[in-house]
Amino acid sequence: MNSKINIDEKYSKFTKHWSPRIIAEMNDYQFKLAKIKGEFVWHSHKDTDETFIVLEGQMTLKFRDGDVTLNKNELYVVPKGVEHKPYAKEECKILVIEPKGVINTGNSGGKLTINEEMWV
């Protein structure tokens, strides 16, 4: 039998920003928690959509044609191939759902890239 996953408890186990932690898998998809603060990098994912749900705080998804600001209990699906840049003025807790193997910085690379799977 699988174990249930308590999201708040999982959040208490890490502090690093922009460092998503996997909490569950469903088929070939993963659920990842992240704490974010500040600006991420412009990037896109050419092969997949990516879903963000804000669980605490506020984040902005910057797009080339405008911004979308998400508050608690708001969800946004970034379509595949669409450039976006996450931003949070204050620390924000998010849940990201996407296929296994998606790299956080997409096509852009750089020092914020996380190549290993980190579970929490």
**Residues of this chain that bind a second copy (CB under 8 A):** 1-2, 4-8, 23-27, 29, 31, 48-51, 53, 55, 63, 65-66, 68-70, 73-80, 97-99
Q: Compare residues 109 and 118 and give the one whose CB is closer to a second copy.
A: 118
Q: Compare residues 39 and 74 and give the one whose CB is closer to a second copy.
A: 74
The SS3 call for residue 8 is helix
Closest approach, Cβ 109 to a second copy, in A, equals 23
- What is the token pair recorded at 105? 């910085």
Closest approach, Cβ 68 to a second copy, in A, equals 5
How far apart CA 118 and CA 86 sit, in angstroms, is: 20
The total number of residues shown for the chain amounts to: 120
Give the residue from 65, 70, 64, 113 showing the smallest Cα distance to 88. 70
Closest approach, Cβ 117 to a second copy, in A, equals 16
Q: Compare residues 65 and 116 and give the one whose CB is closer to a second copy.
A: 65
How far apart CA 78 and CA 9 sit, in angstroms, is: 27
